[in-house]
Structure 1
Amino acid sequence: MSTYLGEICALIAPMCWSVAIILYRRSSAHADPGAMTLFKNGFAVVLLTLTLLAAGIPIPSDRSPGDWSRLIVSGILGLAIADTLLFEALRRVGAGRLAIVDTVYAPLVVFLSWMFLGEQLTPIFLVGGAAVVAGVTFANLEKPSAADIADRRAIGIGIAFGLAAIAGTAVGVVLARPVLQASNLIEVTWTRLTAGVLAQIAWLILNGRRGEILAAYRPAPVWRTLVPAAFVGTYLSLIFWLGGFKWAEASVAAVLNQMATVYIVVLAWFVLGEPISGRRVIGGIVAVAGAWLVVLS
Structure 2
Amino acid sequence: MLDTIGGLAALGTSILWATGSTFFTFASRELGSVAVNRVRLLLATIFLAITHLGINGALLPANGKAETWFWFVLSGVIGLVLGDAFLFQAFVWIGPRLSMLLMSLAPVISMIFSWIFLAERLTPLQVLGIGVTVLGVSTVILDRGKPSQTDGQNRNYLKGLLFGLGGAVGQALGLITSKVGLNAGVSPLSGNLIRIFSAAVIMWFIALFMNQAKVTIDSVWHSGRARSFLFMGTLAGPFLGVWLSLVAIQHTPVAVATTLMSLAPIILLPVGKIVFKERIGWRAVVGTVLAVSGVAMLFLV
TM-score range, shorter chain: 0.7 to 0.9
Correspondence 1:255 to 2:256: no
Question: What CA distance in whole angstroms lies between the structure 2 residues aligned with 1:143 and 1:180?
Answer: 37
Question: What CA distance in whole angstroms lies between the structure 2 residues aligned with 1:135 and 1:5?
Answer: 24
Question: Does structure 1 conserve the Cα–Cα contact (< 8 Å) formed by 2:103 and 2:167?
Answer: no
Tell me which residue corresponds to 1:185: 188
Pairwise CA RMSD of aligned residues? 3.4
Question: What CA distance in whole angstroms lies between the structure 2 residues aligned with 1:90 and 1:28?
Answer: 13
- The alpha carbon displacement at 1:192 in A equals 0.3
What does the per-residue CA deviation read over 1:253-289, in whole Å, with 9 as the maximum and x for residues that have no partner?
A: 2232233231023322332122333234435655665
What does the per-residue CA deviation read over 1:170-228, in whole Å, with 9 as the maximum and x for residues that have no partner?
A: 11110110212311221111110000000111122233434344346424132232221
Instruction: Say if 1:254 and 1:143 are closer, same or farther in 2 by CA, change over 3 A.
Output: closer
Within 5 Å, give how 1:1-297 maps onto structure 2: 4-58=4-58, 59-61=60-62, 63-88=64-89, 93-94=95-96, 100-121=101-122, 123-124=124-125, 145=146, 148-152=147-151, 153=153, 161-181=163-183, 182-215=185-218, 217-220=220-223, 221-283=225-287, 285-286=289-290
Return the letter of the residue paired with 1:43: L
Instruction: Say if 1:68 and 1:105 are closer, same or farther in 2 by CA, change over 3 A.
Output: same
Question: Does structure 2 conserve the Cα–Cα contact (< 8 Å) formed by 1:22 and 1:272?
Answer: no
What does the per-residue CA deviation read over 1:64-97, in whole Å, with 9 as the maximum and x for residues that have no partner?
A: 4332221111112211233344455567745x77
SS of residue matched to 1:112? helix
Question: What is the TM-score with the length of structure 2 in the denominator?
Answer: 0.80
Question: What CA distance in whole angstroms lies between the structure 1 residues aligned with 2:139 and 2:8?
Answer: 31
Question: Does structure 1 conserve the Cα–Cα contact (< 8 Å) formed by 2:141 and 2:265?
Answer: no
Query: Which consecutive residues of structure 1, in runs of 5 or more, have no partner in the other structure?
Result: none
- The alpha carbon displacement at 1:17 in A equals 0.9
- The alpha carbon displacement at 1:164 in A equals 2.8
- The alpha carbon displacement at 1:142 in A equals 6.4
Question: What is the TM-score with the length of structure 1 in the denominator?
Answer: 0.81
Question: What CA distance in whole angstroms lies between the structure 2 residues aligned with 1:45 and 1:287?
Answer: 33
Question: Does structure 1 conserve the Cα–Cα contact (< 8 Å) formed by 2:16 and 2:240?
Answer: yes
Question: Does structure 2 conserve the Cα–Cα contact (< 8 Å) formed by 1:101 and 1:162?
Answer: yes
Question: Does structure 2 conserve the Cα–Cα contact (< 8 Å) formed by 1:85 and 1:162?
Answer: yes
Question: Does structure 2 conserve the Cα–Cα contact (< 8 Å) formed by 1:74 and 1:171?
Answer: yes
Question: What CA distance in whole angstroms lies between the structure 2 residues aligned with 1:276 and 1:185?
Answer: 37
Question: What CA distance in whole angstroms lies between the structure 1 residues aligned with 2:173 and 2:188?
Answer: 18
Q: Percent identity?
A: 21
Question: What CA distance in whole angstroms lies between the structure 1 residues aligned with 2:35 and 2:292?
Answer: 32
Return the letter of the residue paired with 1:79: L
Query: Which consecutive residues of structure 2, in runs of 5 or more, have no partner in the other structure?
Result: none
Instruction: Say if 1:142 and 1:261 are closer, same or farther in 2 by CA, change over 3 A.
Output: closer
Instruction: Say if 1:41 and 1:201 are closer, same or farther in 2 by CA, change over 3 A.
Output: same
Question: Does structure 2 conserve the Cα–Cα contact (< 8 Å) formed by 1:103 and 1:288?
Answer: no
SS of residue matched to 1:29? helix
Question: What CA distance in whole angstroms lies between the structure 2 residues aligned with 1:291 and 1:119?
Answer: 19
* Deviates further, 237-246 or 193-202: 237-246
- The alpha carbon displacement at 1:10 in A equals 1.4
Question: Does structure 2 conserve the Cα–Cα contact (< 8 Å) formed by 1:185 and 1:242?
Answer: yes
